[in-house]
Chain A
C-alpha cells in the first residue's frame, strides 16, 4: 500500500540538507585539531563517525524525532554538554515495553524482532512496537541518505 506514507509521516529532507550539515561538522572538526595529527587514526575515525551521526540527526529532524533526540543526547553526554530541547509538544514516553514483557498477549515473533530493533535504533528503549516501527522507517531513510552523501564525498575527494 503505497499510500501508507501519507498516513504515517516519514518525511526526510533532500540530500543537500544532509550534505550541508555533514560538511559543516567536518570543517568544525578540522578547525578543532588543525593537522597536529591526534595520536592514531582510530580517534579520527571515531570523531568522524560521531560527527556523521550527529549531523544526520540534526539534518533529519532535529529534536522532533525520537531517535534523533536520543542520538543527540547520547552524543552530548559523551562530551558533557547539555542539549537544548524545545518543550513544546513533548509526549511522555512510557516504558511500556518492560510491562508487556510479563503479559504474553503480543505476538512473540514481532516482539523479539522489536527487541532487536530497539537495540539498533537509538532511543528505542521507551517506545511501543508500533511507534518503534515508525521511527525505524524514518531512521532507515535518513541512514540511506547519509550513506549516499558520504559516498559522494569520498568519491569526490579520493585521488583520481
Chain B
C-alpha cells in the first residue's frame, strides 16, 4: 500500500522522536479517514478518532505491517514518553476529523467510558495520549461545529429564512453579520419581502453598524441622539484633526531650523516624554 511505503520512505527511525514532528500526516490521514470501514462511521467519535490513531501509530512504528491488519499489539510496549510528542503534535487534518465529529455531533468528553471498551484490539497505553489530545479538542469542536454549520448552510438559508419567516414572524429583531458570505436578515412584521427591499435593509444594517463604530471612535458622540447630528460631529472631528495637523506642521517648521537635526536625540526626547 502506498501508505506504508510513504511512511517507510519518510521515517526509517523509531527511536528518536524528534523526527516525528517532521512527518507530514495530512495526506495519509485523509486517506485513512476516507477508507474507514462503514460500520465504524455509525458509531461514536472514538471509533472515528481511534482507528486512524492506532493505525497511524502502528504504521509509524512498524512500517512493514499493512494498515488493514494493524492491530497485533506489539506496539504496546512503547513507553508513554515516546507517545508524548505524538500526542503533542497538531494534526494538519484536524479540521477533517472535527468535520466528521461535527456531522455526528458527538462531543469528545463522553468518550472516557468508550475508550476502555474499544481498546480490546489496540494499545492499552494509548488512551492517555489520546485523551490529552481529544480533551484539547472539545474546545475547538464547538466553535468549529458552529462555523462549519453556518458556512455550509448559510448559502441556502438566505432565501428559505426570508420566505418562511417573514410572513409569520412577530419578533422585531433583525440579525446581521459581516463575516459570513451571506447576510441573514429576518424580516420584520408587516414589511415587504421582495429582494430589493431586503437588500436595502441589509445594506442599511451594515451602514448602521459602521456608524456605531464611528460613534465610539469620536469622543462625545454617544450622547448625541439622531444620526444627522452624529454624522455632523464625525465630519467635524475629521476636519478638526486635519486642521490640527496643519497647525502642528506650522509649529514644527518654526522650530526646525534651530535644532541640529540629530535623529537619536529626538527619538530619545520623544521616548522620555511619552
Residues on A lying within 8 angstroms of B by beta carbon are: 1-2, 4-5, 7-8, 10, 15, 19, 23, 26-27, 30, 35, 37, 41, 44-45, 48-49, 52-53, 105, 107, 109-110, 113, 116-117, 120-121, 129-130, 133-134, 136-137, 139-141, 143-144, 146-147, 149-159
The reply to whether B254 and A41 contact each other, CB–CB distance below 8 Å, is yes
Sample of 20 A–B contacts (CB below 8 Å) = A4-B210, A15-B274, A19-B270, A23-B263, A26-B256, A41-B253, A105-B200, A110-B227, A113-B231, A113-B232, A113-B234, A116-B235, A120-B242, A137-B210, A140-B214, A143-B242, A154-B252, A156-B270, A157-B259, A158-B251
Q: B244 contacts the other chain (Cβ, under 8 Å)?
A: yes
Segment of B69-77, B82-90, B134-142, B201-209 engaged in the interface with chain A: B201-209
* Contact residues of B: prevailing secondary structure: helix
Does chain A have a CB within 8 A of B241?
yes
Q: How far does the Cβ of B252 sit from chain A's closest Cβ, in whole Å?
A: 5
Question: B residues 233-274 with Cβ under 8 Å of A?
Answer: 234-235, 237-239, 241-242, 244-246, 248-259, 261, 263, 266-267, 269-270, 272-274
CA distance A59 to B207 in the complex (A): 27
B residues near A (Cβ < 8 Å) are 177-179, 200, 203-204, 206-207, 209-214, 216-218, 227-228, 231-232, 234-235, 237-239, 241-242, 244-246, 248-259, 261, 263, 266-267, 269-270, 272-274
**Are A27 and B213 in contact, with the CB atoms below 8 A?**
no
